[in-house]
Chains A and B, each alone.
Chain A
Amino acid sequence: AQSVAQPEDQVNVAEGNPLTVKCTYSVSGNPYLFWYVQYPNRGLQFLLKYITGDNLVKGSYGFEAEFNKSQTSFHLKKPSALVSDSALYFCAVRDMNNNAGNMLTFGGGTRLMVKP
């Protein structure tokens, strides 16, 4: 079984400060890891993914995430937050070795609030 945990329901940060949204995962094999963002009244948008290779992954809108295998984490980061980054962020995992199941398992989501 695969699972994802986003321990923070909400993260508050001031504009211009760095932000981190936490994600930890559990899979039986090797993970594919994803971050999605959901703006109000919009569908989910893909931000970035880790498949293999460099542990630091860069994605859309200046976001990046670091894969840490020993800590089974994939935290989302941005050096300088913008008010427009305020949204709901979802971390997701898929077991690379699970050929029969291709579904993504999502975390519960973290609401990011960036204050001016």
Chain B
Amino acid sequence: GAGVSQSPSNKVTEKGKDVELRCDPISGHTALYWYRQSLGQGLEFLIYFQGNSAPDKSGLPSDRFSAERTGGSVSTLTIQRTQQEDSAVYLCASSLDRAGTFGSGTRLTVV
């Protein structure tokens, strides 16, 4: 597709369950970012992939969070043993140059 695609658009999960969020970047974009937008908060950087380099995981809030990017394309953000404070909109962006194109996000609600 022409843009960054994220799925699911909405996810409601029970506390303690694991969730996987998917991001399909724009074809050919070498950089991929995950951000989190909590209610009333700004954007929080989570993780950054660039080509085949080791990802920058400095923004991941805890070891319950992990992300993969397979074949330099699709990325999956996994949250294990979800907590209520994980409720947020998770945004993915991809870029070829300096500005990123964002997906519409996945709204995660942990109940």
Contact (Cβ within 8 A) B98 A51: yes
Q: Which residue of A lies closest to B89 (CB)?
A: A43
Cβ contacts A63-102/B at 8 Å (1 or 0 each)? 0000000000000000000000000001010100000111
Supplied contacts A42-B104, A100-B56, 8 more A-B pairs, CB within 8 Å: A43-B6, A43-B91, A46-B99, A46-B101, A102-B48, A103-B33, A103-B48, A105-B45
Contact (Cβ within 8 A) A104 B33: yes
Interface set, chain B 60-111, CB cutoff 8 A to A: 91, 93, 98-105
Number of A-B contacts (CB under 8 A): 53
What B residues does A34 contact at CB under 8 A? 98-99
Contact (Cβ within 8 A) B102 A90: no
Nearest-Cβ distance from residue A88 to partner chain B, whole angstroms: 10
Interface of B is mostly: strand
Given contacts A102-B31, A103-B33, contact A44 B45 (CB under 8 A): no
Q: A36 is contacted by which of B6, B50, B59, B102 (Cβ under 8 Å)?
A: B102
Instruction: Please count how many residues in chain B sit with their CB below 8 Å of the partner chain's CB atoms.
Output: 23
Can you spell out 25 A-B residue pairs with CB atoms less than 8 angstroms apart?
A: A32-B98, A34-B99, A36-B102, A43-B4, A43-B104, A43-B105, A44-B43, A44-B93, A45-B102, A46-B99, A49-B98, A49-B99, A90-B42, A94-B98, A101-B48, A101-B56, A102-B50, A103-B56, A103-B59, A105-B45, A106-B42, A106-B43, A106-B45, A107-B42, A109-B42
Nearest-Cβ distance from residue B21 to partner chain A, whole angstroms: 14
Q: How large is the interface on A (under 10, 10 to 19, 20 to 34, 35 or more residues)?
A: 20 to 34
Cβ contacts B31-61/A at 8 Å (1 or 0 each)? 1010100000111010010100000100100
Q: Which residue of A lies closest to B46 (CB)?
A: A103
Interface set, chain A 13-54, CB cutoff 8 A to B: 32, 34, 36, 41-46, 49, 51
Closest 9 CB pairs of A and B: A108-B42, A106-B43, A44-B102, A43-B104, A43-B102, A103-B45, A103-B48, A46-B99, A32-B98
